[in-house]
């Protein structure tokens, strides 16, 4: 059986340097799943590493603030109040941003 789980979220960032493409500390909101596939909602903080161009990675800890209907099935009846938060990705800066910074 194939089950699609949607993930949505957001974050407030405090950048360590006065640039958008700098590393940051983030207060994050993760919402995993919708409706019958809702697993959990997590609030946490993380460190977001960015290179000057393209690559980004994030690691942190979060507290489960809401358990969805799929939580028990997903975690096999175990309780995990604190979760590891991580992600890797890419980011793109606009051409105008690059010209303004040079």
Q: What does the H/E/C string look like for the chain?
A: CCCCCCEEEEEEEEECCCCCCCCEEEEEEEEECCHHHCCEEEEEEEEEEECCCEEEEEEEEEEEEEECCCHHHHHCCCCCCEEEEEEEEEECCCHHHHHHHC
Query: Does any domain span residue 1?
Result: no
| Residue 12 domain boundaries | 7-101
Total domains in the fold of the chain? 1
Query: Does any domain span residue 49?
Result: yes
pTM, two decimal places: 0.73
Q: What is the tens place of the pLDDT at every residue in 51-67?
A: 888 899 999 999 999 88
Euclidean distance between CA atoms 82 and 99, whole angstroms? 42
Query: Does any domain span residue 96?
Result: yes
Q: What is the tens place of the pLDDT at every residue in 76-88?
A: 877 788 899 999 9
Query: Does any domain span residue 2?
Result: no
């Amino acid at each position: 059986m194939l089950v699609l789980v949607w993930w949505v979220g957001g974050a407030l960032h405090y950048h360590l340097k006065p640039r958008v493409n700098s590393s940051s500390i983030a207060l994050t909101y993760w919402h995993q799943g919708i409706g019958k596939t809702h697993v959990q909602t997590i609030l946490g903080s993380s460190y977001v590493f960015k290179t000057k161009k393209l690559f980004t990675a994030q690691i942190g800890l979060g507290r489960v603030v809401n358990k969805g209907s799929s939580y028990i099935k997903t975690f096999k009846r175990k309780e995990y109040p604190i979760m590891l938060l991580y992600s890797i990705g890419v980011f793109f800066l606009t051409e105008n941003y690059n010209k303004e910074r040079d």
